[in-house]
Structure 1
């Protein structure tokens, strides 16, 4: 990627990083679906954390153990409890919903993030943010369609997971002012490991060699997805990165159709499109504010 950085402009390089993020997210979704047939959601999350601790531990050892120092352990605990809840809802949904529905409901995270920022951080709700919230809620209602069979416990679990992600993002924003990204990732994997281990012991199933590739894939892609997206955001504006992130939905629809014969839902597409429009309106408004 360093050679790419030298030969291409920042937005183009960001696009390459986003391709890596998209491939990682899709691989993580497929591996989560495959593992859900044999393992509980808690055990999948435990496997993910074990691999994450090893990978991040290697990076910390290379970069310096001074990165482990933090003055905000309580905030790390709050962030990781919320993030673990988000991960649980996401992986739980993979076992019972179509891949596309899980991704589409996850895209409500910016809605809840804006609300948490308003209530917890005192950030203002601009006209653009309110527009994004309204379109996001309408899009969510189209996807879930209350009073139909689509509104099931798995969908609610993914929605609750999106709320967990949103709260963890608010905590990440606060921590990023004092702690390095690698520090945040280290405490994420370390703290979440017992969250998955303890419930897993109640219904433990030893991993088989046949499932080992999926276990490795879910752990590696969980780290690579966030790393690639972080690099993309450093190189390009949100107006470039956010639309590419929404490419996850049509791409995962194709994957779901090819691997699991999942049908394409027109209501899901319409709801996701409204969310995309709302997010684009918001990020363009934020970009204009930065440039003014």
Structure 2
């Protein structure tokens, strides 16, 4: 690719990444409005959000039946189960904690990926990366503030979501050795909604019924924005390098904070910016160290 075309593609990728962050902020606001304000159960909200997103994404995800061919069905189920668990915990988190706190804590996911890569995939992790992990979790501790009277067990839900999504990411990385991207995508779509459906029907989970027009509209918007945001992410990664795009993913933090203030009056304390700064700095260090390692290997 010519340099000017590469620069143009990188710019479009960055804009798409920022647009995805803005749309995900809208998703989080709609989910928090439906669950925290209107009282919709988190499993119910999650089912409808991803069910609507699935219907909207299907035209772009059409693949042949041959993509169903796999010898690793249990691994596909486990991978999607991790993803569903993360989605459910994220929904519970948004139902009980401010947006700024939830979105700050979900940024811990890369550090869980590093830990999992070392313990499960037996990858070599440098001392610098371990230091970055410690700094990142120090930032998470500042945001959690377990010494504060405002701390509750629900605050840990976004942390659990970050860990489960990291597990799903690790499985995806490991499975790409034998599975095609089409197969991975197809099984994700085929299993995500049925698992969310089953969880919504568990006792005391809330069921599927929504009795509020406002809640229906909020979840419809959340589902459509989820589909658009996922499409924007896919396009961004298709036209620009992942390492270049990663810093733009952090732009989602001010979007979420801003909408949280406007919609709910959730004004974050100064400790949020300190903790988030530590997390972002540590994650950028992880990214830079990974790029240096890749350069040495090349």
Q: Same fold per TM (> 0.5)?
A: yes
Displacement of 1:39 in angstroms is 1.7
Q: Does 1:228 align with 2:229?
A: no
Contact residue 52 and residue 220 of structure 1 kept, 8 A: yes
2:173 — aligned with what? 173
- Gap regions ≥5 residues in structure 1: none
Q: Does 1:206 align with 2:174?
A: no
2:32 — aligned with what? 33
Counterpart secondary structure, 1:122: coil
Contact residue 57 and residue 186 of structure 1 kept, 8 A: no
Q: In structure 2, what is the Cα distance between the partners aligned to 1:54 and 1:218?
A: 13
1:257 — aligned with what? 261
Give 1:29-108 correspondences, 5 Å limit: 29-36=28-35, 37-61=38-62, 63-108=63-108
2:14 — aligned with what? 15
1:115 — aligned with what? 115
Q: 1:216 to 1:135 in 2, by over 3 A?
A: same
Displacement of 1:48 in angstroms is 2.6
Q: In structure 1, what is the Cα distance between the partners aligned to 2:44 and 2:284?
A: 37
- Gap regions ≥5 residues in structure 2: none
CA-atom RMSD in angstroms: 2.3
Paired residues in the alignment total 287
Q: In structure 2, what is the Cα distance between the partners aligned to 1:210 and 1:259?
A: 15
Displacement of 1:226 in angstroms is 3.3
TM-score between both structures, scaled by the size of structure 1:
0.89
Q: In structure 1, what is the Cα distance between the partners aligned to 2:219 and 2:70?
A: 30
Q: In structure 2, what is the Cα distance between the partners aligned to 1:249 and 1:156?
A: 18
Counterpart secondary structure, 2:198: helix
Q: In structure 2, what is the Cα distance between the partners aligned to 1:7 and 1:82?
A: 35
Give 1:141-152 correspondences, 5 Å limit: 141-152=141-152
Contact residue 26 and residue 252 of structure 1 kept, 8 A: yes
TM-score between both structures, scaled by the size of structure 2:
0.87
Runs of 4+ in structure 1 over 6 Å off: none
